[in-house]
Amino acid sequence: MAKLLLLNGPNLNRLGKREPEVYGSETLDDIEHNVREVVEAVQYQLDAKQSNHEGELIDWIHEAEGVYKGIIFNPGAYTHTSIALRDAISSITVPVIEVHISNVHQREEFRHTSLLAPVCRGQIVGLGTAGYQLAAKYFTLND
């Protein structure tokens, strides 16, 4: 059975409580539940992980090689800072879709740049938590 990995980075465990005017009221559990529904409807399997630690995210990306068909990844603020995460994504052949709940381009200048997008399959920004489900749909469509 094909598997997808849903990966969330720093502060995304605070969803639901964190700046609801920016990130909405859904929790990470809600998001994982909704993505799981999309994935399981087409007989895929989902693993979902969240970490506030860059190194742990890097380890999980390395371990994804040969295991997952795709990674749906919201790297949080590491999007804008982490060359190490970019190198981790480049080091595997599993395609990664970068997802942002908010429209980062409508926000502070420092959020306009993604160090990771150039090595990702694609990027979904500003569509709220639906972005995660749309990324899952992409991976399940392309069989």
Among 7, 88, 100, 136, binds ligand DHK (CB under 6 A): 100
**DSSP tag of 106:** G
Residue 62 bears catalytic tag? no
Residue 132 bears catalytic tag? no
Piece in contact with ligand DHK (CB under 6 A), picked from 26-34, 52-60, 86-94, 100-108: 100-108
Looking at the Cβ atoms of 65 and 112, the one nearer to ligand DHK is 112
From 83, 82, 61, 81, select the one nearest 73 (Cα to Cα).
61
Q: At what angle do helices 130-141 and 28-40 cross, to 10 degrees?
A: 20
Looking at the Cβ atoms of 13 and 45, the one nearer to ligand DHK is 13
For 121, what's the count of Cα atoms within 13 Å in the CB-facing half-sphere? 17
Angstrom distances, CA of residue 2 to CA of 58, 69, 72, 130: 22, 6, 14, 22
Which of 44, 68, 78, 100 is catalytic? The answer is 100
Binding site for ligand DHK (CB under 6 A): 11, 74, 76-77, 79, 100-102, 104, 111
Give the active site residues.
23, 100
